[in-house]
Every structure is written in structure tokens, then in C-alpha cells.
Amino acid sequence: MTNPLLTDQLLPRFDAIRPEHVEPAIRGLLDANRACLAQIAASDAPTFAGVVVSVEEMNHRLQRAWSPVSHLNAVVNSAPLREQYNLCLPLLTDYHTDLAQSEPLYKACTAVAQREAATLDPVQRRVVDNMLRDFHLAGVALEAARKDRFKAVMLELTTLQSKFEENVLDATNAWSRHVTDPAELVGLNEGIVEQARRRAHEKRTEGWLLTLDQPTYVAVITDAESGELRRAYYEAWSTRASDQGPLAGRWDNTQVMDDILRLRHEAATLLGFANFAEYALATRMAKSVPEVIDFLRELARAARPAAAREFAELEQFAGARLEAWDVTYWSERLQRSRFSVSQEDLRPYFALPRVLTGLFDVAERLFGVRITERSGVATWHPDARYFEINDARGAAVGSFYLDPYARPNKRSGAWMDDCVGRKVDSSGVTNPVAYLVCNFLPPNGTQPALLTHDDVVTLFHEFGHGLHHMLTRIAYPSVSGINGVAWDAVELPSQFFENYAWNGDVLRTIAVHHTTGAPLAAERQRQLMATRSFHAGLATMRQVEFSLFDFRMHAEYDPARGGRVAQTLAEVRQEVGVVPVPAWNRFPHSFGHVFAGGYAAGYYSYKWAEVLAADAFAAFEEAGVFDRATAARFLDSILSRGGSRDPLEAFVEFRGRKPDIAPLLRQHGIAA
């Protein structure tokens, strides 16, 4: 029987994939790829088509098999699948390291770059240059013993990063709060309470069972009038996978973090870099450690006075000294007092079906595309849906899956990922496919899923990533869509698209009461839009705090002192922190972006790209936010180019100049 991971059809066969299919499929593909690489290396006359295109095709095929496995591990995690996933991680790391350290392949690529320099177009040249750069970053020039050590380090890192994420997931799933007194639930929205009641009923217990999924945590910390409940949730959330809190010592990531930092530093120094931060910047838009540090401190200088004023005002409003678990609650109360706007009160106006219609309308107005849901497509869960994107002529250009709701055994947060990358070759065009994943409250009976406006912004953000991936026009998978894009520029399209969630025309379309059909009153819309700059100083300083912590931790690592995770965070908080944090807070232990994801020495990218996005949107504000000519330039210069060109060059082509921080400060209401 054919392994469903090895199908030639465009979309994964989610209805047929089982854990037992994973290892045989991946091992078979890796063996086939290695045989193909041996043939390429044996060629006496390497060419772009024979070397580069062949490698692109091999990696594309491997990615198409591994992508659904990785995705399933994140959205329907189970013990058998996790076992197979972890079994394949070292195999893949081993393969990619062998590929990147292959001297015959490196020599073949070098020969192509030299012999065909005059005939390669700019995109082909970018593909070759990236390959040569990646050979260097993988240690192709190292002597044998150091090359073997580098490979071993990368293999161990892959395992540790997966372990970090598993520990966080297990710790999140293990905690719950059994409530028997309804007074403890005052302030929470009906959906959360009903979900907790049903969960308790399923467990054959009285009352309500609250879990640590992200929507429930956010709801409690924002709206629960019970300070005791807020504290319990804050402590459980901020001590996950650590030596503190209600599950202290279980799934503790302390040693995992230290080992990850040690190995990252060793990998970087093996290649001749002073530290992992320098190594990470080799593929980024920012070019030096001081450039990033200066950027973050410039933001801190601009935002910290505003943040200090905001926090002092908040404590004055609350009439008490605030603890960390009180800040979000009282911020919501102050925002309601000032603007008569509550995230929870807005839920009835943001039904997911209508929000999706408005979201798609924005893309259609800007880029002339048409987005249509298709039924009969195999998915991994009944919640998941499938959509196709056609251009103005009706031709298919891409598609995506949407998995919007929180549930057990699904990773928290929201993300977009690559299901299939765009590829054009002699066999035809393979259109890109994306995954869009969120963790919203699910529908309740006949009531549709109701979003907060924060949820709406999240959805627009992830869809911006999706457009970047799906509207690409690049033929080579390694630089099409989100692939090959400098990490500190990859958030540009997503943060740019967030602006439309705050646009008055868009809000008038999507903000309609789901039962009465009444639009959100004009005055409430105005007040909602005014909240965008509410506590922007505090929000900016929070991101600066996370970014400085991440970057300094990697840039200042000293093997003699170890990771210094807690010490570095304490120093950063001393420098830029505004909100007091309890000593038992263990935020780093669940900081998956940095310890399990791709943001190591790169969390600054959010603010870096936010500068780019605000400046790019300023061009639309100058011409009209739905101006088709400006949208066409944005599509041509940035969205469609993927990683095929330098991001600064692409930005300058669109904007006519280098990025400016001023539009972001104006957008946040922070004086420059």
C-alpha cells in the first residue's frame, strides 16, 4: 500500500496519515536524496540545472512529506505521533548537516557560480549565493574533527529544542483549576464558563474545570474579578516547565535552556563567530550586534518615559500597588473607563464568519484576488477548513488551511507555516499552500465563534504571513514565499496587514452584532480605534525587554559562566523594566520563540519589522489605504519576491528610501 506521505497530489492526505507512516517515508526519502546527491557530486560538468535545480527538487519533496508530520505534531499531538516525530528529528538534522557540509556539492555550486555567472538571472544568482552562504554557516570549510563536532552539536540542539517545547506543552496540559464557588467566576465571559462547566461534567465532577489553554488564561488575567484566581493563573502560566509554581520540578526546562545556549555558542564559535548572535545575524537584515542593541535602546529611550507614566497612572486608577497579575485586569478597567471599550463586551460584534469575510475582502480590494472555501478536502480535525486563492483572471495562485480554535493537545499561540512551497519547473507549476493556526474560543452550541478585537488583530497578522507565502511569484522553493526571507524582515507583511484590523472602513464591515445584526456604534468604533495607542509605551517596553534579554543572552554567553538566564533577565529588567515581576516568575522556561522556535537571537525582529511595517503602511496612508497602485508596488516589491532579494533593497524599491522609525512612534502615539 502506498505511504500517504509520499503522494504526488498537491495536498497532504490528512485522512490517511498515521504515525506508523512517518519513519518509513522519511527514511526512504533521505536514502533517495543521498543517492541523488552522490550522482550530482560525481558530475564532471556541474550546471545550474543539474546541481541547484536538482537540490531544490529534492528538498521540496522532503519538505512536502515532513511538513504535514510537523504540523500534526503541533495541532493534534499524541504519544505515538510524538514518538515518530522525535525519531525523525535526528535523521533530518543529520541529513541537512551532511548536505550542507558536502564538499563535493560545495565545489559543484562554486563551479556553477563561476562558470554561469553571466547567464544566471538575479533570482537564480540569489539561490546560488544562499547555498554558498549556507555551506559556510554549516561548516563546510572545517577540518574533519570540527566538522563532525558541529554536526553532533546541531543534532543535539534539534532534540533539546523539541524537548523544551514538549515540556511546555505537558506542563500546560497538566494544570487545571477546579472551581465550585460561582463567585470565583465573576467577570468571565459566558463561553469560558460554559466550556468549563462542560469539562467538569465530562470529568463527572461538580462545578467548573478551568484549564490553562491560552484563551482561558487571557480571559482570566483580563477579566476575572477574583484576584486569587488571577494570581493562581498567572503563577501557573509564568512558571510552566520550571522549578517554581504548582508543578515545580516537573518538566523543568532549566537544564534544557542551559544546554541549548551552550551548544548554540559552541556551534557559532566552531564556525569562527564570537557568539551565536553574530552567527544568527549572518542571514538577517541587521548586520551587527551593536546595530541591534542600539536599535532596541533607541526604542527604549523613546518609549520608557511614556511607559512609566502609563504605569503610574494605572496604579493611581487602581488605588493600590499593583502586582503582575493585576496589571492586565486594571489596564482593561482603565481602558473601559476611558474609552468605554471592553474586549469581552466586543465579542458579540466579531463573529468569526463575518470577520473572515471582511478579512478576505481586504485582500481582494488590495490585490485583486478571490478567496473561496472548498469542501471535501481532507483535514486533521473537524475544525479545520480549506480555502483557495485565485487571481483576477481566475487562475489558482495558492491555498491555505485554517484551524482557528483552541483544544487539548494543540500548541498554544497562533502561527502560519509552509505546507507546500511554490515551485516552477519543466513539469509545471506547484502552487503554494499554507497553514493558518489560531487558538480562539470555539463556537458554543448554535452560537458562532466570537472573537475579541485582539483575536481579530491576530487573525489579520497570520493572514498577512499567509499572503506573503501564497502570492509569491518565485519559481525556486528555497526563496519563494516565506522561505529564504531574512528573519528580521519576515514579520513585515504580517504586521503591515494588522493595520487593516484597525481601519474604520474594515471595522464597519466586520463589527456587526451576531444576533441583532446591529453594527458597532460609530462612537464605539472610534473609541476602539483610539485604544490602539493605549499603553503603547508599556507594550513597547515589554517587547524591548524580551528582545534585549534574548539578544544579550546569546551575544554575551561565556562558557565559564554558563547560560546566566535568570541573571541576564534580571539585568535587562533593571535597565528597561517598568512593571514589577515576582521573584518566582520563570517566563524564560516557556519562551518557545527563542528556545524552541526560530527566534533565537532574533526576537528583536518583531520590533524591527514593526518599524518596516509602519513605514510601509504610511505609504498607503499617503495615497489611500486601498490604493491599488500602491498595493501593486507592495506586491511587486515585497510580497511576491519572497526571499529572492535583499530585504533592504526591496523596501527601498517600494518606499523610495530607507526605513524610518518615526511612523511607528506616531502610530503608537509616542513622541519621537
Strands (E), 228-270: none
| C-alpha–C-alpha distance, residues 457 and 453, integer Å | 6
With cell 499593583, the residue in question is 322
What phi, psi does 594 have (nearest 5°)? -95, -40
| C-alpha–C-alpha distance, residues 338 and 232, integer Å | 28
Of 384, 461, 404, 395, the C-alpha closest to 428 is 395
Bridge partners, 398 (sequence order): 389
C-alpha cell at 192: 469560558
Task: Indicate the SS3 state at residue 433.
Answer: strand
C-alpha cell at 483: 522561505
Active-site residue, 462 included = yes
Catalytic residue among 462, 491, 498, 545: 462
Cα four-point dihedral sign 563, 564, 569, 571? negative
| C-alpha–C-alpha distance, residues 275 and 537, integer Å | 31
What phi, psi does 584 have (nearest 5°)? -85, 0
The answer for residues whose C-beta is within 8 angstroms of residue 401's C-beta and 6 or more apart is 379, 384, 385, 386, 387, 419, 433, 434, 435, 436
Quickly list DSSP for 276-339. Answer: HHHHHHTTSSS--HHHHHHHHHHHHHHHHHHHHHHHHHHHHHHTSPPPHHHHHHHHHHHHHHHH
Give burial (CB, 10 Å; 0-12/13-18/19+) of 368: middle
| C-alpha–C-alpha distance, residues 237 and 442, integer Å | 21
Residues noted as catalytic: 462
